[in-house]
Structure 1
Amino acid sequence: MPGFRAVGDTIGPTYKRLAFAQRGYLRLSANTALSEVSGVSGSKMRWELLEYVLYVYLKLRVQLVGWPGDLVFTNLSNPPLTGLGCISRLVALWDSGAMHFAPVTDAEYRAALEDPYSCAPGPLHRGFPENLGRCDIKKRKYRPKTDPLGLRVGRYIRNGPKSARVVSETAADGAEGE
């Protein structure tokens, strides 16, 4: 009958999107390469920083070299890396050999024991957002007081801020020129 398979007859994974297929390929080839470089069969690449440090960097003494500097090092299933462009770029780096596994030296190993964040293959975040202050400045605030007739006592309604939240470079240069 169609749709049924014999016991033990397995088929390969089927993916609904190309990004999922490339992510699976990258995980499988990274696990295979890690087993070859470390000499430990069945070893797996860990994509979270703490697990990477403990189970790959310190335990196997192997590091991932060539991670792009503008991509956050995180699990391949996490949102910064879920797009087809990011995964395709990682696969291209992996296939070209620019991203690969290499043994860890004794000095790097000691440095990782002191500071585990030092052995991250790439950046861990994209920086901190600029603090622009309160978002409700010059806006109407809730006033719970009422008058004897039960009507709200209001104030003159202002239509929000009168200037931009951030001064642009051109405006700053123009102000300095005056």
Structure 2
Amino acid sequence: MNIFEIIAKLIDMRSFSNLWYWIALAVVWSSASHWVLGVPWDMVGRARRKGAQAENDLVTLTLINARRLNVIWADAGVAIAIVFPFLLSFLGFTGFFYGAEIAQAVFLFALPLSAVFALSMSLAHRLCAQSGDGLGSDLVIRALSRHRVWVQAIGIAAIIVTSFWGMFQNLRFSALF
């Protein structure tokens, strides 16, 4: 077996039977749950426990990331709102109508992550709107905690749907049927 055959087996276009796809799925949702609005979750816990400077750091970093997301949306929001739904539609149609498994796999990654992006944009907009009144750390902690619960719920649903679809695809292409 030469090096090209080994690489071809590692990078299999049948995504649902590939271990790397499932590792990537776990890493993506673990990271999305840990980095809430770009703020590491351990920072929220530290602000709850230690107060004072840790709370100020949390509020500052949260506002920085919220403003950054708002600037990204202001600069590229129209392009994102046009290109991303087109790509999702293309992936969905190509994957589920024509049966391209790689398109199905990418679609099952991108659709729930787009919901997380929309929630993040909404939270960023609300936090920036309230920042003029002086954001308290308890408000930021509650907002980030609620956002993390929603991200985790979307992640669990995405993992379950992807797992069932992947099992169905693997069974469909196995020697059993």
Task: Name which structure has the greater RCO, CA cutoff 8 Å, separation 6+.
Answer: 2
TM-score (norm 1): 0.26
TM-score (norm 2): 0.26
Comparing both structures, which one devotes a greater share of its residues to helix?
2
